[in-house]
Structures are given as structure tokens and as C-alpha cells.
Structure 1
């Protein structure tokens, strides 16, 4: 146990991968740590993501090119991007901010910030995997981006060129070379690229739970309880749980993903956070061999081989936290997946829907609260929560200790909106 009683205790709201990574960093610095979550470790988006350490993905979602494709996608209610009609008015302010974030100047600054953050992501994970003994849950087989039209392949080359400008290895491959790597693919693929330095974990839920078990061994307390409201104090705040319990937190980190907006709002920070609902199915016996992570950008979904089966998932649905799931979206993804893997079987598959906490400029909030000392934010990672978790943990640790962080924190500040 590496806890220094003189450093005091930090309370963290959220036992997903981001909250757990923050706890891991703080316990190594000698803090006592309590993690509060309404269900416990890995109960939300951290259990059902695609398992990628996608540090090479540095393009913000908001971009002029996306809007060209989005208009086509939005016509299809089961396509890669959709807005539930019942949620259209609620998402409108977020969409207007998303549009503003799509101008070339803003895209360039967001990309630079993502390059900086993602550049620290894999090294931060390497340190955490090593110290926690979870390094054996990582795969390094690279990622294949696949395209089924010459036009989409040609458009991808500009993005690959930008990635190379940032020192990211991208190897363009022809259809035959791709099928040598993935023999079960159909002849629909016309080309693509291998990103060799990509990494993924065996199963995101298992990793999260393994880290939580390790943290318990380090003396970290995990408390199940839902925070109803916050009462700010001179330093930190008092947590009022729904069951009536009250907890005094001298230092407090809000890292509860899609549920962070309300807590930040109680502290006076109006963060434009909403949810991109993602769907997937995990098939224990898929009937095909997928050797590495497969990304199909033109269709908005991925195929991820896990220790627990093949996960087919992705797409973006704006529908908030309360509307019921539309499982037809999973059927639509499976139908597309079978175009690329015709022998794919989905019998016995487990369907899932989760809430990606998303901010219009694609940058998470990793920041002190603007009005209250001792309170910090770590949420809004959208598609990159697993990727950026360990790096976020290191940034939050530096902020709590008032040390210069490894990267410029300004792009991730809560007062940027």
C-alpha cells in the first residue's frame, strides 16, 4: 500500500475506466482514495466499449467533411448517425456548438490538442499496466481501416497524410494484401491501411475490474451510492447521497462520464455535454476469424476481437439518457458486417447500448472547477475514454498537486465554453 496519511484523501465520483485510472495515479502519489459510484466498477460505458487504445485517432469528430457525410447518414434512421425525433429539440443547442466547432480554424486547434493528449496516452497506459500487473491484457496487432469504394479510399488518404505529419505510422495496403492479413474478409474491400502501433485490450470490462481489484489491494475504498447533490465548502464540497448519507470531500474529482453534467452545473459550470449512444453485439462464437481491430469509417462501425468474443459496434445516436434503446440499430450493423464477413454468425450474441459522454469540440474537460477550490473535472472523453484514461489520471494528479502538467491544459479547461 502506497498511501501517505499526511497527503489526505481524494474522493472520486465515477468507477468507470477514467475514475479508476485517476485513483491509480493518486494512490501511487501517496493519497488515500475513495471512489463513489452508483453501481460500482465498470457498470457503464467502460464495460461495453470497443477495447481500443486508439491514440492514433487525432481527428475531432466535428469537421467540415463530416457534415457532408452526416447529411446522407441522417436520412437513414438506422444509419451511422441519427437523432431520435423525441430528442431533436434537446440536442439542438449541442448541435449548434458542434457546427461552430467544425470551422477549419477550430478543427486545427482541436486536432493539435488531441495530438498532445493522445501522444501521452499509450506511455501513460504502459506505466499503469506495468505497475498494476495488467500488461498481459493488452494486444498489439494493429488496426485495419477498410474501404469498399475507390472514392472513400481516396478521401481517406488526406487523413492518413495528416496522421503521418504527426509521426503516426500508416501503411496503405491494397485489397490482396489486406486479405492476406484477414483471410475471412470478402472481396468487397478495395483497399485500406494498417495502423501498426495501435493497441487494444482483451476486454474492457475485465481490465476495469482487474484494476479495481488491484486498487482495493492498495487500500482504495469503493463506495456504492448515487450522489444527489453537492454542497460547496471553502475547499472541496460535501456529497449528499440519495440515501441520505453525507460525505465531506476536501478534494473531489467528478469523473462519472455522461452523468457529470449535472454535478458540474451545481458548481456553476455549464458544460455542453451530451451523449452519443453507442450500440454493439458481442458474439462468443462468430464463425469467422478476425485477427485484429477492424475499422470501417464509411459505415460507422468497428469489429473488435476480444477474449470474450467478437464485438461489432459503433454508430452514433443522439437520444439522451432516458429514451429506450433501438435494437434495430444492432441489426443494421450486423447486416453491414456480413457484407465484409459473409460467414459471420451472431447466434448467442449479447447486445448492449451505452452512453458516450460527448462535448462538441471533441475535447474532454480535464480541469479544476472554475469557481471552487479542491474540485476537479475529468469527463467528456466521448469515443476515447479508454484511450485517454491513464493520461487523464496523470493530468489530474498534477493538477491536484499544482505541478506543471505534461501538456498544455488550456484546451481542456472548463471555462473554455
Structure 2
């Protein structure tokens, strides 16, 4: 006989764990299943930036011009593996189709709706576990070094204002007053006051896990092999035997497509953007907040464990080995941004999978007569949108209707 539970969450990343805690607090019997320990996927190594300002899709029409460079430069900020090109091409075609005006506007509205609610949702969640200190709400900065970049940055500022994203222009002197260790080469930038950063993204997951366990959630380290729906709910096949549940939440990030297809019959165009970071443990006092470079296309976030350099996008699927030279490239990119170069003593590289759909919107939905809940595909914004996603999933699990703006996140848009 299979083990039984009320709700099984497949995926123990930040979204799965936040959802499990939310559902347990609603009185539901919960099990979370993942092959890895909680938080050891993309949630472990993300940039730590609460990116509420990022309301635009992951790409625009200029990606066509950049395609040759993507294929030729193994160290470029945006790379497409030659061997993965045949599999990636249908996804890229759908991405381009979603850049048509009506669909593009829907995407921006959908991202903006989640991001506008994200900070308050995180405040509620962290206060509820008495860990508000893990989030620093002191803004973030986008800087430029070349005079010709100023016009492009001013255009970004105007687009942000049109979307009601709080933003102000800072001169180079204002930037160095706030962050004295930054180089004189920085000419100016955009400051986003309604953003922040997490001091340790992995610790955030761990604290939520402890709160979830205290609320009765059980964590199982197993591999989910398959699943099927039946009159009673859903039965999952795992490497340690079957598990039956009234409802299942699929929240396993870049690995969500196969189980979604098995349970719903729907093929989801989910791909993965492989992201890299380099953690510098001896750099604790360089920055007061997250700083992104326009020209160098990466972000630097101060954390408890040092300074995290993160960024780059690599399309190479889930199976290809990591190219850790892309992580070390981040240190080379940092040269010239500071008055004194960053120390890479004891640095550690990392690679993880960002789950991305071609319209840059996540799937947050209830399907199969409520037996299957979905929360995946948050691309670069999984950490940012985790808390608000958990609140939405809590309402979905109870059968409640969400606001009319919920339509962009439905599974049936594909």
C-alpha cells in the first residue's frame, strides 16, 4: 500500500518550501519530496537580489542580432551551446513570438503584478518566522562606465517610470558617497529604492524548512519517477515506493516539465537558463547593497559569507556538465569596478538551473479538478516571487479564486 498524505509538494527549493509552510499553516498535512536536500538546487546559489524592479521579459528582439555571438563566445554573458541548439531552437522561436506587442504587454503586466506584491509578501513571511533580519531593504544600483551608455540607461529609466517602478538617477559622485570603494570609472547609475537583498539565500530556505517542520511538514529525500491521477487524487511513483495524496504541488523548477506532462497531459515549453556565481569569502565590506554593471552584465551582492558575483545566461540544458570557467570569468569582469581589485582567495564557483518559459511568466495554477497545483517557471525571479507565489498557492489549494490578473499564469496558455 502506498504512503498517504493530504498534499505532496515535489520540489524543496525556495518556492516549494515556502508553499509547504503556507499550506501547513492552513492546517494541511504536508510532505515535501526532493532528490536533493532542501535548498540545494537553484535556491542555493542565486544572486540574492530581491529584484522587484525587473518587470521586463528575459529577452527582447535584439536577441537575433546577438545569436552569432552567443554561439561563438564561450565566455559571453549570453551563451547558447552548439550541441543544444536543435533542442533550444523551438523555445527561442516561441520567445520571439511572445515579443509581439500584445503578448509583450501581457508579460510585463504579469511580471509587474507579482513583483509589486513580492516585497510585502516577503516581509510577512520573514516576520512570521522571526527572521526579518535576513532581508536588507536598502535598494540596489545599476551602474554604467561608458559615456555612450548614458542614453540607454536614461531610456531604461523612462521605461521603468512608465511601469511605476521607483527609480532615481545617481551621479558618479553620489554613487561613491554611498559605496566609497567603487571606482572613479563609474559615471552614474540608476538606484532602485524598493528593492533589497538577502544576506544568505540558502539560510533563508533552511529557516523556512525549520518553520515548516515545526508546523508538521515532513521532508523526504527521494526521486519522483512518475505519477498519475485517479479518483482519490494523485499517486506518485518514487525510488522508495508509491506515495498517494489528495493534491500534488509541482514546484521542482527546471525539472517540472516531465511530471507536469505525466499528471496533466500538457507539454510545457520549459527550458533552463544555466546561471553561475563566484563566492568571494574575503570581501565583506565592499558594497552596502547589490550593484549591477550595464556593460559587464553581472551583479555583485554583499552577503554574510562574502561578496557573491553572479550572472551570465547559458542555454545548454540539464545534462551538459558545468563550465566553471564562466564562474571564474565573473572575477575578471569585476576588475576596474573597484579602487582595489577583489580578492579571489578561497573563492568557490557554482552553477544552477533557472526554470524559464518563453513568455518569461511562471505557471501558477490549479488543474485536474484541483488535484494538481503548479508553481514553477519563475526564471530569474524565483527568489523574488517565492513568498507571493506561496500565498497564491495557498488560495488555490483551498479552491479560492484569484484576482482577474491571474490569467497570465495559467497552464492552458500553452
- Asked if 1:221 corresponds to 2:218, the answer is yes
- Asked if 1:353 corresponds to 2:329, the answer is no
Q: CA RMSD in A?
A: 1.7
User: Please, which of 385, 388, 392 is the counterpart of residue 388 of structure 1?
Assistant: 385
- Asked if 1:176 corresponds to 2:173, the answer is yes
1:302-347 Cα distance to aligned partner (Å, 9 max, x none): 0010011100011000111111111111222211111212421111
SS of residue matched to 2:405? coil
Cross-structure match for 1:87: 84
- Asked if 1:261 corresponds to 2:241, the answer is no
Superposition TM-score, scaled by structure 2 size: 0.94
Rate the CA distance shift 1:236–1:354 in 2: closer, same or farther, 3 A: same
User: Please, which of 365, 374, 381 is the counterpart of residue 371 of structure 2?
Assistant: 374
SS of residue matched to 1:250? strand
Conservation of the 8 A alpha-carbon contact between 1:235 and 1:251? no
In structure 2, C-alpha distance between the alignment counterparts of 1:188 and 1:399, rounded to whole Å: 50
What displacement does 1:288 show? 6.0
Conservation of the 8 A alpha-carbon contact between 1:62 and 1:361? no
Rate the CA distance shift 1:288–1:124 in 2: closer, same or farther, 3 A: closer
User: Please, which of 4, 11, 18 is the counterpart of residue 14 of structure 1?
Assistant: 11
SS of residue matched to 1:329? helix
User: Please, which of 361, 365, 371 is the counterpart of residue 363 of structure 1?
Assistant: 361
Conservation of the 8 A alpha-carbon contact between 1:234 and 1:373? no
What displacement does 1:406 show? 4.3
Give runs of aligned pairs for residues 6-405 of structure 1, distance below 5 A: 9-68=6-65, 72=69, 74-243=71-240, 245-267=241-263, 268-286=265-283, 289-341=286-338, 342-369=340-367, 371=368, 373-405=370-402
In structure 1, C-alpha distance between the alignment counterparts of 2:399 and 2:105, rounded to whole Å: 29
Q: How many residues align?
A: 408
In structure 2, C-alpha distance between the alignment counterparts of 1:351 and 1:62, rounded to whole Å: 25
What displacement does 1:275 show? 0.5
Structure 1: gaps (5+ residues):
1-7
Rate the CA distance shift 1:323–1:161 in 2: closer, same or farther, 3 A: same
What displacement does 1:174 show? 1.3
Answer with 283-292 or 294-303: which moved more: 283-292
What displacement does 1:17 show? 0.3
SS of residue matched to 2:352? strand
Conservation of the 8 A alpha-carbon contact between 2:13 and 2:205? yes
Superposition TM-score, scaled by structure 1 size: 0.94
1:191-234 Cα distance to aligned partner (Å, 9 max, x none): 21111111111100011001101111111111111100002212
In structure 2, C-alpha distance between the alignment counterparts of 1:170 and 1:75, rounded to whole Å: 36
